[in-house]
Amino acid sequence: MSNKFKYLKKLTTIAKNKPVRAVIVAPVYKNRSGAINSSIEETYKLAQSLNIEPFLFLKPKIKKINKKYFIGEGLVSYLESVAKDNPECIIIFNCELSAAWQRNLEIKLCSKILDRTELILDIFVNRARSFEGKLQVELAKLKHESSRLVRVWTHLERQKGGIGLRGGPGEKQIETDRRIISRKIVTVEKKLKSVVKTRSLHRSLRIRGKVPTVALVGYTNAGKSTLFNKLTKKEVLIKNMPFASLDTTLGKCFVDNECSCVVIDTVGFIHDLPKELLNAFRSSLEEVNTADLIIHVLDVSDPNFSQHRESTNSILAEVLTREVPKIEVYNKADIVHCPTNINSTNDRLYISASHNLGVAELKIKIKDFLH
């Protein structure tokens, strides 16, 4: 392989050493124009959480998709000049790229190309801490890589036509790697099934003991873990960054002297959550499906919180198989100077988890819903 491709290694390895400069390309096409600015801001935060520093933002309008590169030839030429002036930079596409588009762009630009799915996957790889979380992320990563093996072996000879059964070394290597990844996927799925079985056993014990459960859901960085700590007196990791905590955590909450429940802190959601991750974390999200009450935590200080609300509800619609009562909690009300005792309704409450404002009122609502 040419020397110019030597630095095209795992992003997580690069990010640990020094900040990586990047270009963010946010194509505007179909119905994406309305929320493009908020989408770029979100991708910028995701990149920063991986120690990547974007220095250029592009919003090209895509009227017709280029079969080879997705984007137009003019933009490809411009990116080629940017990459030549910044040889160590990576290029992040704020959308999903096909394996062929990604491969062609990497060859043409001689730069590492990441799409939105891979960016989120890399964050999950860095943040998973529990055994189950690591298995879920590994499964998602393997399934994503299995569809993109062709990118790795484009420098090898491909299978040729002619007489005989012997194929080229490139085709042989691809098939070998597919078998290796397939075996790994089977192994990880077996381990995950064992963990899921244990989780299901614990869940059935709670149901048998008539212990009510409350699931915290919401967009990433909305304050779920902060609220979880206030309700359960635990100390789950809290950081002002996307996907600071990925592991499903359980804790006991004493609503009052007579009423208690189990509170479940789930992984945060995000707009266009990659299917690989949603499927891999589906076993954890089963906790939401069997909960007695869902608390949807929203960051009311975020100007895009209505879009975040819609994205979370959309993912919940995929996960839930039954009707579950829900309370919407508008968190960080202190930042927008919204009093926690006004505008609240039976299924909506304004609070500030970090300042413990409105948490007592939330406990009262939890008790009312559970009894």
CB 365 within 8 A of CB 349: yes
pLDDT (tens digit, 9 = 90+) per residue, 340-363? 544 556 668 999 999 999 999 999
- Strands, E assignment, the chain: 20-25, 52-58, 90-93, 112-115, 213-218, 249-254, 260-265, 293-299, 326-331, 348-350
Mean pLDDT to the nearest integer, 258-277: 83
Beta bridge partners of 357: 352
For the chain, what is the largest distance between any 2 Cα atoms, rounded to a whole number of angstroms? Answer: 82
Rg of the chain over Cα atoms, rounded to whole angstroms, equals 23
Distance CA 360, CA 338 (A): 17
Asked if residue 292 has pLDDT above 60, the reply is yes
Does an H or E element contain 165, and which?
A: none
Confidence band for 179, pLDDT divided at 50, 70 and 90: confident
Q: What is the DSSP letter of 94?
A: S
> Is 142's pLDDT higher than 70?
yes
What span, in angstroms and rounded, lies between the C-alpha atoms of 144 and 158?
22
Q: Is the pLDDT of residue 249 over 90?
A: no
> Distance between CA atoms of 313 and 354, rounded to whole angstroms?
24
Rounded-to-integer distance, Cα 40 and Cα 43, Å: 5
Beta-carbon neighbour count of residue 152 at 10 Å?
Answer: 16
* pLDDT tens profile 181-210: 889 999 999 998 888 788 778 777 777 778
